[in-house]
Chain A
């Protein structure tokens, strides 16, 4: 489980908040997303989350929906996502894939697990796969030495939190807002309490995500979360044709 423990190791806050950047594979096209992936991987982030596009992403707001749609229109496939992940993983940064359950089922989950591991991927997040529905797929992912990262939300009951933390490896993903992905100006009230509650249930690092986009958010999360995941804000930069690294650098500065 060398790769599996890698996320756990790199995402543990050591005084600094760790940053996880998100990008959509194949957005705005295959070539450019490989360039962007390599740049992000060497920008100082602790890990890179790569989205595999799905036609009907229920947990995503307009920015990531649009990125996924663009990637699909450019012919992105699960296989091509693994190629991208493998190329970016060469930079030595742990890669987490995020996708919905249907592309995994269509690919054959065992084959998906084997190919993801082969590509050097560290862990998988599936936002429409709650722990109750996670077997046998999660078992196959674990058997391939992949971390299975489950999500906790503000609406999660205490007994579900327990079970989610037990099923997670690598880190626990704490969805800080009641809602879908997308940059927000303010972080929600109750976020620190939620992160504190999750911390009580697990020894794994806890990453906060959804709505997080600004340096002041990083500052607010320091001391509460081990890591912050920034997605839509980065994807929006990529969508505009901008280099997302200056944004990332600004966020990193606020992590320290």
Chain B
């Protein structure tokens, strides 16, 4: 497979659709990132933080009671919920904080939906002595209030975004506006494989550690690869993170699970790849939920982290190339999977990967005993207790 992106694009998708003011910063970031990637000292430093600060490698866990419940196929979980701060988001935040230091920028900003990325950025800001502002929609601040409290204790400024849908989309727009205004002193730590080039590539490179570890761990069990790898997709960083290592393994089926919310047909969902068409949002050309006039549509998902109308451009490319199957799972099934995993495994997943867990169950029943499924358990679910109890 050709290594993407090529000139900032994954096939048709990606690009740099941003105000002129940011073009210089993107150019600088691309240069600094490629230089850092090739720098053994940087890699050593990153590896050190991954080990001692994030807690990597995260374990591969055989979910035997879930396996039995779904008819005997082997289900393994990649335990990103065990990362420090409770989700895979820290993998990216640590890497980008090191880049901010390298560029001499003393302030970082971020958008957050579920609050996991906001907490990760507030955490690295505390760890590396950076000033930090996190943008979060009013609606998300309500449903993820615990993470708001965590960010404030970490001394991040949490700015409420009350415009538009009051969720991740508007928080991202507001973070970009901050960046346009403060670009000389500020690095924008985007939380997913979205945004203008080089973000989708850079965030992928920082998250691919998930799949690199998981593939090796999986092989070390009995020398075989999984039949299927399943991950949830909002912007798609944990999914790209685990898929990348398996892209060249032609026999491994890759499944991305979007949020069907109340159902695709109701229009209340967040499944850009399943129910959208290509367009430009937040600097990249990718699948997008939009009306006939190109206005971005409001989305719905019980999971704040998946409640986003766009998706990373590499996912759009992988969809069109038919390398990854994208499907959508609704709120009710995700909540049921959340409860089931908690009850049977003693692991409380975040609502985002609960979507993937539901689909893993469906696939397990199809494959039957002997089937081999790897699920990216991208984060833990303490933050979702209020949302789940309300259902």
Residue ranges of A at the interface with B (Cβ–Cβ < 8 Å): 54-56, 58-59, 61, 65, 69, 72, 77-78, 100-107, 127-130, 132-133, 150-157, 160, 164, 175, 178-180
Contacts and interface: CB of A to CB of B under 8 A. Distances in A.
Given A55-B164, A101-B280, A156 B295 contact: no
A185 to B, nearest CB: 16
A-B pairs, top 10 by smallest CB distance, nearest first, are A106-B294, A179-B181, A103-B294, A153-B21, A102-B294, A55-B295, A153-B20, A59-B19, A151-B20, A155-B24
Tell me if B's interface is mostly helix, strand, loop or mixed. mixed
B275 to A, nearest CB: 16
B294 A107 contact: yes
Contacts of A164: 20
Contact of A102 (B20, B27, B177, B279): B279
Interface stretch (B10-18, B89-97, B235-243): B10-18
Interface in B168-214: 169-170, 173, 176-177, 180-184
A17 B163 CA distance: 36
A106 B293 contact: yes
B23 A56 contact: no
Contacts of A175: 19-21
A58 B21 contact: no
A39 B390 CA distance: 54
Contacts of A55: 164, 295-296
B128 to A, nearest CB: 25
B283 A72 contact: no
A73 to B, nearest CB: 11
A77 B293 contact: yes
B25 interface: yes
Contacts of B288: 102
A92 to B, nearest CB: 29
Contact of B183 (A69, A77, A129, A178): A178
Interface centre among A65, A100, A127, A133 (most CB of B within 10 A): A133
Contacts of A133: 15-17
A105 B294 contact: yes
Interface centre among A55, A72, A133, A175 (most CB of B within 10 A): A55
Contacts of A105: 279-280, 294
Given A72-B295, A180-B180, A130 B290 contact: no
B279 A178 contact: no
A132 B22 CA distance: 13
27 contacts: A54-B294, A55-B164, A56-B169, A58-B19, A58-B176, A58-B283, A78-B294, A101-B280, A102-B288, A102-B290, A103-B293, A103-B295, A104-B294, A105-B280, A107-B293, A128-B19, A129-B17, A130-B17, A130-B20, A133-B16, A151-B20, A153-B20, A155-B23, A155-B184, A160-B24, A175-B20, A180-B177
A145 to B, nearest CB: 24
A164 B169 CA distance: 30
Interface in B1-47: 15-25, 27
A78 B184 CA distance: 35
A127 B21 CA distance: 10
B181 A160 contact: no
B187 to A, nearest CB: 14
Contacts of A130: 16-18, 20, 23
A59 B176 CA distance: 9
B16 to A, nearest CB: 6
Contacts of B293: 77-78, 103, 106-107
B281 interface: yes
B223 interface: no
Given A56-B164, A180-B181, A127 B19 contact: yes
A152 B177 CA distance: 17
B279 A106 contact: yes
A72 B181 CA distance: 26
Interface centre among A65, A72, A102, A179 (most CB of B within 10 A): A102
Contact of B173 (A58, A102, A152, A155): A58
